[in-house]
Structures are given as structure tokens and as C-alpha cells.
Amino acid sequence: MMETSEPAGAGALFGMAPEELRALAEALGLPRYRATQMADALYRQRVSGLEQMTTLPAEVRERLAAEGYAVGLPEMVQTARSVDGTERYLMRMADGETVETVWMPGGDGGERGDGSEAAEEEAGEVGDAEDAAEWKKGKYRGPLTRAYALAQDDGKDSDGDSGRARGAVQNDERKEGGYKRATICISSQVGCAVNCQFCLTAKLGVRRNLTAGEIAGQVAAVLNRQKVRIGSGKGVETPSRINLVFMGMGEPFLNYDALMKAVHLLRGMGIPESRMTVSTSGIEPSIRRFALEPVRPKLALSLNAPNDAIRREVMPVTKKWNIAALLEALGTIPFGKREYVTFEYVLLGGVNDQPEHAREVLDLLRGMKAKVNLIVWNPGPGIAYRQPKPEDVAVFHRMLVEGGVPTFTRRPRGRDIYAACGQLKRTVETEPLVEIASAP
Ligand code: SAH
Ligand code: SF4
């Protein structure tokens, strides 16, 4: 069910925490268990309209509607599908603002770039037991030959040496050990205020924060479209393994309260926080708050430079909090035994991708249980960087690995539909988006 007949701007039920639903039930003079039924319908069944809340009597549904309430999921208005199976959606919020959400079926394949420990599991699950063992020992070298292939990739699915991974990507329905796996990349703000020089989203500036319901609602809308069932309850034959990355539009740590509320709602939808990765450009006070959270998703820091001088150029936010301050804040997080601190590193040709830069990165990360996700920069209109040379990517990757840092080069997903990292910009008019009605 894609569209609902809900009035725009109605009070959204989706996004209300269980205790808020209880308060609502009370205010409407309904028994407490009605709140439990509403929560179940919203977050377990993921209904898209009040009429689907069939556990509630019709008069209660009518009452809710009369009071101005609706489910209020973001509306998926347009979609584009990549040759690699990635789908990009334009999601419209009640006030007409739009953000983008990306569905990446089949996990991240060889490059395991989603920033989660799924990397390790995946190495095992797809049959690379040796890779997995190496990874555990922190000696994983990664498929170096692939770095060449992917850096030469022009948006097609080229996995270099891995025919297996290629097949997997093209088959959405791939099941591994009974699991269907996918990663959903979600937005946290409309636009972004951080102004990283290499990122297309930055060009928008920030228009507003998303609410918790709008953040978690992107996930519900995508899962509904993909008919994904989560959990292992009765009637669920194929529980799905869904990873979430907060790596779409916006800086999640500049919308901290809504982000954390969304994390709790998403847990209520059956996705554990261990399968969520929040990526931040480095908002130091939020990192310190995050360190104190009892429920904590994984965290990735977008390092993107080997020293403050280069980072100030590519990420002006560094003037506010430098690398040392960020590493210190990261140090306050009580990481578990098996947890790594993940650093994202966008390789910008000639800027931060040289051997001396790799050596500096190793110096920075010395003594930390760190892993690095390298991302080959994705071009965008009006951005004056160039892509790194494939051989520079490979050398950089190898140097980090040889320096003892588990390193993965992320395979760009959906470049042909502008769905890859840093390419999300709501440019509806100019890009090959397909009206939802005619989408596959
Ligand atoms: N605002 C958060 C999360 C969204 S950006 C952050 O910056 O971390 C997610 C990732 O995409 C970040 O690591 C960012 O550095 C990277 N990125 C941005 N623009 C990119 C581009 N054009 N090519 C490749 N990666 C990019
Ligand atoms: Fe914002 Fe992240 Fe893009 Fe920087 S990279 S402008 S923080 S979305």
C-alpha cells in the first residue's frame, strides 16, 4: 500500500512513543490496552492508514480521525532503480518537504562498507570463512584487486573478481541462511548545514530537522514497499536482516533528540540498535552525549582527512572541533569488546589520498581499535574535486591494512541513479526519477 487517503498535515500517530500513545488513549478516554494495540499496528504491522488498524473498533478509528489523527508515514512519491538493484526514493513529508532514502539489497557484498559488524558476519556468510577469521584477528586484507575495479566503476555493478557477489547484488530475493539482507540508508534532516565541500547535500543548506516519526517512517515506508517481514513470530517464515545506516541527507548529530527517539522507535519495529550505524561529521558535544546513552547504535566518524589543515579545507566544521577533540570525545564511548571505532574516509583525488596521508592516518589511529571504510568520492555537479586514481585507492587501502587497521573500500551503490554517498540532493527535475505509479 503506497498511498493513503490521509489528509496532509494531520496529527501523525507514527512517531509517537508507547508512553505518548498511552497519554493519547487516556486523553480520549480509551482503555490503556488501546494504546498497546495502536503501537502494535504502527510499529509491528506497519499499517499505512487508520482503516488498517483493525484491532481498534471502527468508532475508535473514526474518533481518532475526527480528532485530526492519521498514521502519517512519509509518502514515497518517486523512485529510481539502479542497475545494481539499489533503489532511491523521494519521500514527501506532511508539510511538502522531501528527503531521499536508499534501499540497498544484498548487503554491501565484498566491500562490507555499511559500517557495521555485518561486515564480519557477511565475510562468513557468503562463504569467505578465511576472510572472517582474518577479520577477527584484525588482519583482514580485503579484496585488494577489487579496489581497482571499483574505482574504475562508472556506476555499473562491477565487483571485479567476485562473480558471486555480483549475482547476489542483482538478486533482491537472495537469502543467506534463511535471511534476506538489505541496508537502508536514511536521512535525518532536510538538507544539511555542515557544508562539507565535497558533498552535494551541503549545497541545499539545512531547511529543517526531521521528526523522529519522519526518520523511522522512512524505514517503515521502504520495508512496506519491499514487503519485508521482520522478526521470528508466528507466520514469519523468512525473517529479514535489515541494517540501517544514518548516512542519507543531514547531520544526525545536529538533530540529536529526534535521532535517538527514532532509534527507540526502530527498535520497537524489531531492528536492534546493533544493526544501526549513525554517521557523523563530528559534532563533539553530541558524541559526548551519545557516549552516555544506554541504548547506543554503532557510530562512524567521517574523518575524511589525515590532519586538521586538510580537514579544515574539506570540512570547515573542523574549525569548531578539531581532530584531537573528536578523538577525545570518541574515547569517552564505552565500546564493547567486539566493537570497533569506525572511521569513514572519502578519498578525494590528489587531496587526501597519497601515501603520506595514509601514514598520517595510521599515526592518528595508533592505539585505537579502529577500522576504516574508504569511500571513493562520488562526483556531483558544481563540486570541484576529482576522483582518486584506482592505483592510489589500492595503495592507500594496502598501507592501512599493513599498518594493522582493518580497512574496507566501499563499493559505490546506485551511482547511475545518483543514490551513492553524497549524491542525495532532491534534484527531482534533472534526474532520472520514475513516477511511483510506473515503478517496478
Ligand atoms: N552527515 C553525516 C552522514 C551523512 S554523509 C556525515 O557526514 O557523516 C555519509 C557519508 O558520505 C559521510 O562519511 C560523508 O563523508 C560521505 N560523503 C559525502 N559526500 C560524498 C561524496 N560526494 N562521495 C563519497 N562520499 C561522500
Ligand atoms: Fe552534511 Fe554529511 Fe554532507 Fe557533510 S557529508 S554536508 S555532514 S551530509
What cell was used for 36? 498497546
Counting ligands in written order, the one closest to the CA of 191 is: 2
> Ligand 1: distance of its center to the CA of 412 in Å?
12
CA separation for the pair 207, 198 (Å, rounded): 19
pLDDT at 381: 87
Question: Which sequence positions are flagged as catalytic?
Answer: 100, 421
Q: Which residue has the cell 563499493?
A: 411
Closest by CA to 395, choosing from 421, 423, 440, 359, is 359
* Residue 422 grid cell: 553524497
pLDDT in tens, 110-165: 333 333 344 444 433 332 334 344 444 434 333 332 232 233 333 333 333 333 23
Under DSSP, the state recorded for 197 is: T
Residues 240-289: tens digit of each pLDDT: 789 999 999 999 999 999 999 999 999 999 999 999 999 999 999 999 99
Please report the DSSP string for 288-354 in residue order. Answer: HHHHT-SS--EEEEE--SSSHHHHHHH-GGGGTS-HHHHHHHHHTS---TT--EEEEEEE-TTTT-S
Q: Quick check: CB of 304 below 6 Å from ligand 1?
A: yes
Collapsed DSSP state (helix, strand, coil) of residue 253: helix
With cut-offs at 50, 70 and 90, classify the pLDDT of residue 204.
Answer: confident
The amino acid occupying position 156 is K
Contact 409, 374 (CB under 8 A): yes
Query: How many Cβ atoms are within 10 Å of 435's Cβ, its own excluded?
Result: 9
Q: What is the C-alpha separation between 396 and 408, in angstroms, rounded?
A: 11
pLDDT at 429 over 50: no
Whole-model pTM: value is 0.83
Ligand 2 centroid distance, CA of 433 (Å)? 23
Report the pLDDT value the prediction gives residue 235, as an integer from 0 to 100: 54
Same CATH topology for 11-70 and 75-417?
Answer: no
CATH number given to 11-70 = 1.10.150.530
pLDDT of residue 138: 38
Residue 181 has what pLDDT?
86
Query: Which residue has its alpha carbon closest to ligand 2 atom 8?
Result: 250
Task: Find cell 577525545 and name the residue.
Answer: 328
pLDDT > 90? residue 338: no
In angstroms, what is the span from residue 198 Cα to ligand 1's centroid?
A: 8
Tell whether the torsion through CA atoms of 281, 287, 291 and 293 is positive or negative. negative
DSSP, res 201: G
Using the predicted structure, report yes or no on whether residue 329 has a pLDDT greater than 80.
yes
Beta strands in 110-202 (DSSP E): 175-176, 179-185, 189-191
pLDDT value at position 413? 78
Using CA positions, which residue lies closest to atom 3 of ligand 1? Answer: 247
* pLDDT given for residue 140 in this prediction: 36
Mind giving me the DSSP string for 229-249?
--S--TT-SS-EEEEEEE-SS
Distance of CA 334 to CAs 115, 236, 291, 339, Å?
18, 35, 7, 10
- Residues having CB closer than 6 A to ligand 2 are 192, 194-196, 199, 201-202, 250-251, 281, 422
pLDDT in tens, 212-229: 999 999 999 999 999 888
pLDDT tens digit sequence for 23-77: 999 999 999 999 999 999 999 999 999 999 999 999 999 999 999 999 999 999 9
Q: In sequence order, what are the beta bridge partners of 241?
A: 181
Compare 204 and 286 and report the one with higher pLDDT: 286
Which residue has the CA at smallest separation from atom 13 of ligand 1? 302
Which pLDDT tens digit goes with each residue over 81-90? 988 889 999 9
- Lowest-pLDDT choice from 9-23, 121-135, 185-199: 121-135
By most ligand atoms within 8 Å of CB, the mutation choice from 100, 196, 299, 314 for ligand 2 is 196
pLDDT surpasses 80 at 358: yes
Inter-residue contact 75 to 95 (CB < 8 Å): no
Residue bearing the bigger pLDDT, 197 or 240:
197
Mean pLDDT score across all residues of the chain: 81
Q: What cell numbers appear for 199 in the block? A: 558533498
CA separation for the pair 223, 226 (Å, rounded): 5
Higher pLDDT, 178 or 268: 268
- Distance in angstroms between the alpha carbons of the first and the last residue of the chain: 14
Fold topology of 75-417? TIM Barrel (3.20.20)
Distance separating alpha carbons of residues 405 and 73, to the nearest angstrom: 41
Alpha helix segments (H runs only) across 102-143: 118-125, 129-136
Of the pLDDT bands very low, low, confident and very high (cuts 50, 70, 90), residue 232 is: low
pLDDT in the model for residue 106: 77
Q: What separation in Å is there between the alpha carbon of 252 and the centre of ligand 2?
A: 10
**Per-domain residue ranges for the chain?**
11-70, 75-417
For the stretch 108-117, pLDDT in tens is 433 333 333 4
Q: Average of pLDDT values for 181-199?
A: 95
Q: Kindly indicate the confidence band of residue 339, based on its pLDDT and cuts at 50, 70 and 90.
A: confident
The ligand minimizing its distance to the Cα of 387 is: 1
CA–CA gap between residue 215 and residue 265 (Å, rounded): 10
